[in-house]
Amino acid sequence: MSHIHIDMEHVNFSYEKNKKILDDITFTARERDCIGLIGANGVGKSTLLKLLVGLESGYEGSIRVEEIPVSSEMLPKIREKIGYVFQDSDSQLFMNNVYEDIAFAPRNYGLPEEEVVRCVEHAMQMTEIGHLREKSIYKLSGGEKKLVSIATILAMTPDIILMDEPTIALDPRNRRNLIHILNQFDHLKIIASHDLDMVMDTCSRVILMSDGKIVKDGDVMEILKDRELLEKNGLELPLGLQERKPQQ
Amino acid sequence: MSKLSGAYYEIDHMNMVATRDQWVNKIHPLVKLVVTVFYIAVVVSLSKYNLSGILLMGAYPIVMFMLGEVSFKDSIRRLRIILPLVCVVGIFNPFFDRQVVFNVGSISVTSGVISMVTLMIKGILTVLASYLLIATTTIEKICYALRQLHIPAVLVTQILLTYRYISVLLKEANTIMQAYLLRAPNQKGVQFKVWGPLVGQLLLRSIDRANAVYESMMLRGYRGEFHYSNMEHCSGKDYLFLVAWIVVLLAIKYLPVFMYFNS
């Protein structure tokens, strides 16, 4: 097995007794996998991502990231390996300008300033936001904020990228740009989203969740073409696969 | 633009002013911080009857306004709430200290009036000096300078994050106000009975947002100490700036020629 991988085995999680948010979740993700985590609202997609980086704790079962168990003592190590892009970019960005925000993580990891500059430049180049370098965080558009959010985690040079609804509130052009940029990364990626068209364009594998359980785990097209399966679990066929009715 | 949006953009504007390419902005933050603190200490230490000495202390803000090309008009507008409060200090002095010092025509000027004016000017000058520091230095640089002075990290981080969260709080407050006003089009302001739920909402949202920001920091390696970009060491011009101001301020306070002028 490659050294970059995530293993979840029989994971259960709940906030209250007798109300499971995640129920017996088992899956393995390997290097270069791009997994779409899909399901209706409230099925536990975001919770699953948060468990992987230790933003939620108190689960049952086993979660291992590159053979390191996700536990409070190991969180600093785990978080060096995983970049997490929040659903709401306003929560992710807090420094004065774009450059300072991207440089935040490399500086925290004690890199010398020359290395910090190199990491920031590389992250900005990968997300094509070099022109925003000095721009104030408050003046960024929604699409720019999302790209800067991604750049902030790329500057950490993570092995794994987790994204929570990355295309939410993006206009078609920014959405297309984001998909183009995501497809250039060869990290292990797990993308939680309702945007099935985006999942179809970026992911090779899909995990479909319902009521905290994994209903199906398999090839992206196999699952996204299955209208009956999607509708049974509160979703619809991606727009790109829906037949258009001729207008009268 | 609503007042809340206005306040939000004011903070952003202040950040922009602080990052301009002016000569004063490029002075080492530690030097500017030390000069500002020293200036405030000297101003505060002047006698409450030393009106002319206080007036001479106005030289520092005047020079800094000119060197930094900071708009005086904008500064007064931004400080319009704090300055009257500062002026309240000493407002009762004329009632307690009634010894007549000199007469202007038929009007007797008492030492209470002089001390009141002196205290007001002291307040204004110290506020202006602090404002000039913020207007020519970003909050990150000020915090870096504080750390250089060995101020505890926990305190400096509090200052930095409080400054950051002001924007978060304003943004949330603005969103709540907009949502309220859109559903109460014929009202002026917020109804008294709705203040409770609105403030409660603001508190909950702000806590949520602050928590999310903190999580984001933790996920990017934050361990309780901010790491600031490497600043260059103090150069010749920084030392010159520091020494020049210390000499000028001490001269105003102690040199006989200025004391003579004061008398």
Contacts of A86 in chain B (CB under 8 A): 212, 216
CATH number of the domain enclosing A28: 3.40.50.300
Interface confidence (ipTM) of the complex: 0.86
Question: Counting Cβ atoms within 10 Å, is residue B8 exposed (0-12), middle (13-18) or buried (19+)?
Answer: buried
Tell me what pLDDT residue B30 has: 94
DSSP state letters, B168-237: HHHHHHHHHHHHHHHT-TT-SS--GGGHHHHHHHHHHHHHHHHHHHHHHHHHTT--S---PPPPPPP-HH
Contacts of A117 in chain B (CB under 8 A): none
Q: Scanning every residue of chain B, which has its alpha carbon at the shortest distance from the alpha carbon of A86?
A: B216
Tell me what pLDDT residue B259 has: 58
Tell me what pLDDT residue B256 has: 65
Asked whether residue A83 is assigned to any structural domain, the reply reads yes
Q: Scanning every residue of chain A, which has its alpha carbon at the shortest distance from the alpha carbon of B232?
A: A113
Could you read off the pLDDT of B171-209 as tens digits, one per residue?
A: 888 888 888 888 887 777 788 888 899 999 988 988 888
Tell me what pLDDT residue B53 has: 86
Please state whether the predicted TM-score (pTM) of the whole model is above 0.95. Answer: no
Q: How many CB atoms lie within 10 A of CB A67?
A: 9
Closest approach of chain A CAs to the CA of B158, in angstroms?
Answer: 14
Tell me what pLDDT residue A25 has: 96
Name the residue among A96, A108, A138 with its Cβ closest to that of B140.
A96
Contact B220 A152 (CB under 8 A): yes
Cα–Cα distance measured from residue A36 to residue A200, given in angstroms and rounded to the nearest whole number: 8
Contacts of B219 in chain A (CB under 8 A): 53, 55, 79, 82-84
Q: Which residues of chain A have pLDDT under 70?
A: 1-2, 244-248
Mutation pick from A96, A137, A139, A163 vs chain B, by most beta carbons of B within 10 Å, is A96
Tell me what pLDDT residue A248 has: 57
Asked whether residue A241 is assigned to any structural domain, the reply reads no
Asked whether residue A245 is assigned to any structural domain, the reply reads no
Tell me what pLDDT residue A247 has: 63
Cα–Cα distance measured from residue A82 to residue A65, given in angstroms and rounded to the nearest whole number: 9
Asked whether residue A92 is assigned to any structural domain, the reply reads yes
Q: Which residues of chain B have pLDDT under 50?
A: 263
Mutation pick from A47, A77, A85, A107 vs chain B, by most beta carbons of B within 10 Å, is A107
Contact B223 A152 (CB under 8 A): no
Tell me what pLDDT residue A40 has: 93
| Residue spans per domain, chain B | 20-97+107-137+232-263, 151-231
Mutation pick from B140, B171, B220 vs chain A, by most beta carbons of A within 10 Å, is B220
Cα–Cα distance measured from residue B262 to residue B81, given in angstroms and rounded to the nearest whole number: 31
Tell me what pLDDT residue A245 has: 65
From the list A188, A111, A176, A190, the residue with the least C-alpha distance to A147 is A176
Contact B138 A84 (CB under 8 A): no
Non-local (6+) Cβ contacts of B102 within 8 A are B108, B109
Non-local (6+) Cβ contacts of A110 within 8 A are B227
